[in-house]
């Protein structure tokens, strides 16, 4: 694996792997780790990028214009080497472009640029998806960062809360009987007003999934202590996930989602699929800020 690329401000230091343009480490000014410990007993991921599709396609295949193509869960970008386009003290840009290997499973001329920048106590991540081909391009995109649970600011696991910016009374989705696919029926929201009290047991049946979401920002951590403010203005849905008992919580803003249980349609009928016209681009931002609120 290529060496990590590190960027730093007076408040944060971030390290990114060119493999998958994956954020591996985020530390505060005192060197305290804000992300997963990647204990292999649970999950060795850190913050994979989900492209060209979020979640699992039924049978790990998708259909397009009468043809079937293989597609692993969360797409292929997270397993591919990105080119380093720019590296400044406080920012870096990585790029993935279509090649023969990607066109064999995803017949589109895409470019995915991933920019990381730090300023003060904020990490800003911006993904830019471009259609460089001549056909309309179906795609989805998501973030999948795993933040420390507990965070290094005192308070035990049970004291941590997810505080949404708005009340979230709508029912949520869960994974159904087909592995990795979304159940067609919703379940009652576990959010009390705007507060979720996560427990390891909540994730025994996989992720909590919001496909009706009022918020585009949340706080993670122990109320009254330093927390993470996570902003996701460009993604309408959200997943929360962990392997029960692990020392992380994944906060996953999504523009897209796995297939529904039993889905047999064309990719254009898949929930959350976006249509990118030739020559167009679309950006997705996620900011992480250390706050004392």
pLDDT in tens, 82-102: 999 999 999 999 999 999 999
Average pLDDT over the chain reads: 97
- Residue 293 pLDDT: 80
- Residue in the block written with tokens 């290997």: 101
pLDDT in tens, 226-263: 999 999 999 999 999 999 999 999 999 999 999 999 99
pLDDT in tens, 51-77: 999 999 999 999 999 999 999 999 999
**Per-residue DSSP letter, 243:** -
pLDDT of 6 strictly over 60: yes
Beta bridge partners of 117: 91, 124
Q: Percentage helix, strand, coil, to 5, in the chain?
A: 10, 45, 50
- Residue 195 pLDDT: 98
- Residue 179 pLDDT: 86
Whole-prediction pTM: 0.97
Report the distance separating Cα 286 and Cα 173, nearest Å.
22
Multiple choice CATH, 5-292, 3.20.20.70, 2.70.98.10, 3.40.640.10, 2.60.40.1730: 2.70.98.10
pLDDT of 115 strictly over 60: yes
pLDDT of 171 strictly over 50: yes
- Residue 1 pLDDT: 42
Q: What average pLDDT score do residues 183-187 get? A: 96
pLDDT of 2 strictly over 70: no
By CB atoms closer than 10 A (0-12, 13-18, 19+), residue 81 is middle
């Amino acid at each position: 694996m290529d060496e990590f690329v590190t960027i730093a401000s007076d408040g944060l230091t971030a390290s990114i792997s060119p493999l998958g343009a994956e954020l591996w480490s985020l530390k505060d000014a005192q060197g305290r780790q804000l992300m997963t410990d990647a204990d292999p007993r649970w999950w060795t991921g850190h913050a994979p990028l989900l492209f060209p599709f979020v979640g699992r396609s039924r049978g790990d295949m998708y259909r397009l214009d009468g043809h079937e193509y293989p597609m692993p869960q969360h797409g292929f970008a997270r397993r591919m080497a990105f080119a380093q386009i720019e590296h400044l003290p406080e920012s870096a840009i990585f790029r993935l472009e279509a090649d023969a290997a990607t066109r064999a499973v995803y017949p589109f001329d895409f470019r995915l640029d991933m920019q990381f920048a730090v300023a003060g106590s904020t990490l800003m991540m911006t993904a830019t998806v471009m259609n460089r081909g001549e056909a309309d391009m179906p795609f989805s995109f998501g973030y999948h960062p795993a933040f420390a649970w507990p965070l290094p600011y005192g308070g035990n696991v049970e004291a941590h809360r997810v505080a949404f910016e708005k009340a979230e009374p709508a029912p949520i989705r869960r994974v159904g009987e087909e592995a990795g696919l979304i159940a067609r029926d919703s379940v009652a929201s576990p959010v009390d007003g705007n507060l979720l009290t996560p427990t390891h047991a909540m994730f025994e049946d996989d992720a909590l999934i919001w496909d009706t979401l009022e918020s585009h920002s949340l706080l993670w951590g122990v109320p009254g202590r330093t927390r993470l403010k996570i902003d996701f203005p460009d993604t309408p849905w959200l997943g929360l996930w962990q392997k029960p008992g692990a020392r992380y919580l994944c906060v996953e803003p999504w523009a897209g989602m796995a297939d529904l249980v039993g889905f047999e349609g064309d990719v254009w009928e898949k929930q959350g699929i976006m249509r990118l016209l030739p020559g167009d681009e679309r950006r997705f931002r996620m900011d992480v800020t250390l706050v004392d609120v």
